Amino acid sequence: MGILMIRTLVSAVFFICLTTDCSQAADSTESKETVAVIGTGDMGDSFGHRLAALGYQVVYGSRNPESDKVKKLLEITGHGATATTQEAAAQQAEIILLAIPWPAMETVAQNLGDLSGKVVIDMSWPPDEIDEDGYYRVAIETSAAELIQGWNPDALVVKAFLTVWSHVIDDPSTAGGPVSIPIASDSRYAKEKTGQMVADLGLDPVDVGPLRFARNIESLTEMALVPYAQGRDEYWNLYFPRSNYAVCHGYEGDGAEDEESQVVDADDLANMPETQPPLESCPQ
């Protein structure tokens, strides 16, 4: 199976289907940021047509922007979407979606020009290999997102959307319940821009920490490949149900009163759109 198809098959663990439907963001004619969708495969075309319908200005970045395939994609996408080369698309956009598989990513991500200040969303499954037991194993020590950040030090790199199927991007209701999208980045601004896009798509944005935690997101995906590797006829979606039980019952955890243990961004946390029902107040 090709890496791109594997990218499409991955989601993550612990799906809990509540009675609450996935929130569907209404199509909007309001003009939003220009988004470069780098790659026109299964994930790229799913994101392109949804984002264009939501009011984002979509420009596809392709190796062959004049191909019949890309022309057909533009017809399907509509809403003024355009296509050009990968570098030209990246230079036009405020937000860049890297819908490229490895090993092609290694070349593409290093040849998009100056990405200073741009939000760069990596949704790629990292380089992998099949271990002796037949299961997939990530073949790098850090994460794909951290490699991309290293190649583009002034970009605002985000890890997101790795844990979701392309058909859920097309129509979130196919998941049968809420679908969470973990977001990792060192930039509050980039997290918030990504979180708003996630919410616009009818999904549930969750701040899961700094960019180095991208490796945790990729590990979730490694586990999500287990049903495929085992030949099962099921798959997982990821949902993080909210709870304030521990807070209501006074649990603070080890080191909660140790100021040195506080994370560096505790006073500057990203604001994620509220997509789930509010929690009930603690009992008096």
- Lowest-confidence region among 25-39, 65-79, 231-245: 25-39
Neighbour-count burial for 251-268, b at 16+ CB within 10 Å, e otherwise: eeeeeeeeeeeeeeeeee
pLDDT band at 28 (very low <50, low <70, confident <90, very high): very low
CA-based diameter of the chain, in Å?
Answer: 65
Q: Please choose, from the candidates 94, 103, 102, 109, the residue with its C-alpha nearest in 3D space to the C-alpha of residue 38.
A: 109
Three-state DSSP at 68 gives: helix
Mean pLDDT of 93-113: 96
Per the domain annotation, does 170 fall within a domain?
yes
Per the domain annotation, does 163 fall within a domain?
yes
Helices (H), 67-187: 68-77, 86-92, 104-108, 144-151, 166-170
Cα separation, 19 vs 272, in Å, equals 22
> What CATH number is given to the structural domain containing 170?
3.40.50.720
Mean pLDDT of 113-122: 98
Per the domain annotation, does 63 fall within a domain?
yes
Predicted local confidence at residue 186, as pLDDT: 98
Which residue(s) pair with 185 in the sheet?
158
Torsions phi, psi of 94, nearest 5? -85, -30
At residue 261, does pLDDT exceed 80?
no
Per the domain annotation, does 180 fall within a domain?
yes
Predicted local confidence at residue 128, as pLDDT: 74
Per the domain annotation, does 108 fall within a domain?
yes
CA terminus-to-terminus distance, the chain = 56
Per the domain annotation, does 185 fall within a domain?
yes
Per the domain annotation, does 115 fall within a domain?
yes
- pTM greater than the 0.75 cutoff: yes
Per the domain annotation, does 45 fall within a domain?
yes
**Average pLDDT across the chain, whole number:** 87
Predicted local confidence at residue 260, as pLDDT: 56
* Enclosing domain of residue 85: 3-18+27-261
**Tally of domains in the chain:** 1
Cα separation, 237 vs 179, in Å, equals 6
At residue 111, does pLDDT exceed 90?
yes
